[in-house]
């Protein structure tokens, strides 16, 4: 009889950028304006299985047990179209994705999601890609996903070229940082979906914010300093640069017309508490993405104390402590 195709299953973890990506210079090819640098986490994995279904009339996409709809489904199908084009194949697929984190809440579910989909999709359609090519492919789903192909610290190059060159030029690669193993304490102040998608918010920022260009310029300088700080394993320097880079990114959004504001009163309460921790001798530094949640970088030995302070600052929030985590990987049959 016929054996059910087991498909390919991949697991990927989200990453948090210490130097942010914000704004695309090519929306079609998903090419960022700026380089970014991130830490891949050891929490909140996405597990995705891609199975070919030659007899099916169309792709089937399941997200956390329910059929994906609207924009979410459209993005996955468009990504599969790209994989099929690269592989010279046409069969529809069945995609099953499970996120250990709320989707679309500014917790990088698109990063782990498209990294896992790139890896599982490439394997299911028989594409043999090296990690650089995989990161390029993941980037077409979500720029931050390029970085989740790699574990620990990774840089995503914006590249320079135009059209086809631009695609080849923009990819992620590991940044070896042997002596830096901090904690990232995540305060989930609101796990609901965000009001403005990061895609729409970026476009508006690039098109209307008078602060965008100056942030992009200062971000390049931040990246240079960040690489030095990481090499030295200097938590205070890494934290200071990451915090100013993130606040600067949010400033560009606040100056967009109309403004995009992801930071909530609870975000600000947590930021105040991070400042209070520092004033009381605990090195702790905040970063925020396209949502109200705050991620706080600190020494592993201070993580419990930092977590308790954040819980106290935003009653009702949940707090999770992460460390540097693994790159995307295919699951073998035995697992
Ligand atoms: O790649 P996207 O669309 O998930 O955008 C991510 C943008 C930020 O999280 C705000 C910054 C970053 O570099 O991850």
Strand 172-174 versus strand 93-99 pairing type: unpaired
Ligand 1 atom, smallest distance to 106 CA: 9
What confidence score (pLDDT) does residue 172 get?
98
- pLDDT tens per residue across span 287-311: 999 999 999 999 999 999 999 999 9
Domain boundaries of the chain, sorted by first residue: 8-176, 183-322
Stretch 7-28: mean pLDDT: 97
| Confidence check: pLDDT of 161 > 90 | no
Stretch 118-142: mean pLDDT: 98
Tokens of 271: 């930021």
Confidence class for position 164, pLDDT limits 50, 70, 90: confident
**Mutation to probe ligand 1, out of 111, 222, 250 (largest number of atoms < 8 A from CB):** 111
What is the whole-number distance in angstroms between the Cα of residue 39 and the centre of ligand 1? 13
In the chain, pLDDT over 90 holds for what percent of residues?
88
**Mutation to probe ligand 1, out of 104, 290, 292, 295 (largest number of atoms < 8 A from CB):** 290
| Confidence check: pLDDT of 239 > 80 | yes
| Confidence check: pLDDT of 335 > 80 | no
Tokens of 264: 């909530």
Ligand 1 atom, smallest distance to 20 CA: 13
Homologous superfamily (CATH) for 183-322: GHMP kinase, C-terminal domain (3.30.70.890)
Determine phi and psi for 64, rounding to 5 degrees.
Answer: 50, 40
What is the whole-number distance in angstroms between the Cα of residue 31 and the centre of ligand 1? 12
What confidence score (pLDDT) does residue 139 get?
98
Burial 134-164 (b: 16+ CB within 10 A, else e): bbbbbbbbbbbbbbbbbbbbbbbbbbeeeee
The closest of 166, 177, 291, 186 to 226, measured between CA atoms, is 177
**Three-state SS at 230:** helix
Confidence class for position 5, pLDDT limits 50, 70, 90: confident
Rounded Cα gap, residues 103 and 193, in angstroms? 7
| pTM for the model | 0.96
| Confidence check: pLDDT of 101 > 80 | no
What is the whole-number distance in angstroms between the Cα of residue 283 and the centre of ligand 1? 25
> The CATH number of 8-176 is which of 3.30.230.10, 3.40.50.720, 3.40.50.2000, 1.10.3720.10?
3.30.230.10
Confidence class for position 165, pLDDT limits 50, 70, 90: confident
What is the whole-number distance in angstroms between the Cα of residue 15 and the centre of ligand 1? 9
* Average pLDDT of every residue of the chain: 94
Confidence class for position 23, pLDDT limits 50, 70, 90: very high
Confidence class for position 193, pLDDT limits 50, 70, 90: confident
Ligand 1 atom, smallest distance to 108 CA: 4
Ligand 1 atom, smallest distance to 199 CA: 3
What confidence score (pLDDT) does residue 6 get?
83
- pLDDT tens per residue across span 244-266: 999 999 999 999 999 999 999 99
Ligand 1 atom, smallest distance to 156 CA: 13
| Residues 187, 199 contacting (CB under 8 angstroms) | no
Strand ranges inside 33-182, DSSP E? 36-40, 46-52, 60-63, 66-67, 93-99, 153-156, 172-174
Residues with CB under 6 A from ligand 1: 17, 20-22, 36, 110-111, 142-144, 198-199, 289-290
108: left (phi over 0), alpha (psi -120 to 50) or beta: left
What is the whole-number distance in angstroms between the Cα of residue 301 and the centre of ligand 1? 28
What confidence score (pLDDT) does residue 103 get?
57
The closest of 46, 251, 250 to 149, measured between CA atoms, is 46
């Amino acid at each position: 009889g016929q054996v059910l195709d087991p498909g390919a299953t991949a697991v990927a973890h989200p990453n948090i950028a210490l130097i942010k990506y914000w704004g695309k210079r090519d929306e079609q090819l998903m090419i960022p304006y700026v380089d970014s640098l991130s830490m891949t986490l050891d929490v909140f994995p996405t597990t995705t299985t891609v199975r070919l279904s030659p007899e099916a009339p169309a792709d089937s996409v399941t997200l956390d047990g329910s059929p994906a709809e609207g924009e979410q489904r459209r993005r996955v199908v468009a990504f599969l179209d790209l994989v099929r084009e690269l592989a010279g194949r046409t069969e529809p697929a069945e995609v099953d994705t499970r996120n250990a984190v709320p989707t679309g809440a500014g917790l990088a579910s698109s990063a782990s999601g498209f990294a896992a989909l790139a890896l599982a999709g490439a394997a299911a359609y028989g594409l043999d890609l090296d990690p650089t090519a995989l990161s390029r492919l993941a980037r077409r789903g979500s720029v931050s996903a390029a970085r989740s192909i790699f574990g620990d610290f990774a840089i995503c190059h914006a590249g320079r070229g135009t059209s086809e060159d631009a695609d080849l030029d923009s990819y992620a690669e590991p940044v070896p940082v042997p002596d830096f193993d901090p904690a990232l304490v995540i305060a989930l102040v609101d796990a609901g979906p965000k009001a403005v998608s990061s895609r729409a918010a970026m476009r508006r920022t690039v098109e209307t914010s008078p602060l965008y260009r100056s942030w992009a310029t200062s971000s390049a300088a931040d990246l240079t300093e960040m690489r030095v700080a990481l090499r030295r394993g200097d938590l205070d320097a890494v934290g200071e640069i990451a915090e100013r880079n993130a606040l600067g990114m949010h400033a560009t959004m606040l100056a967009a017309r109309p403004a995009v504001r992801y930071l909530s009163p609870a975000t600000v309460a947590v930021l105040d508490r991070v400042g209070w921790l520092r004033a009381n001798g605990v090195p702790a530094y905040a970063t925020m993405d396209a949502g109200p949640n705050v991620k706080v970088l600190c020494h592993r030995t201070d993580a419990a104390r930092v977590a308790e302070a954040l819980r106290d600052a935003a009653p009702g929030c949940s707090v999770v402590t992460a460390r540097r985590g693994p790159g995307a990987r295919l699951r073998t049959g035995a697992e």
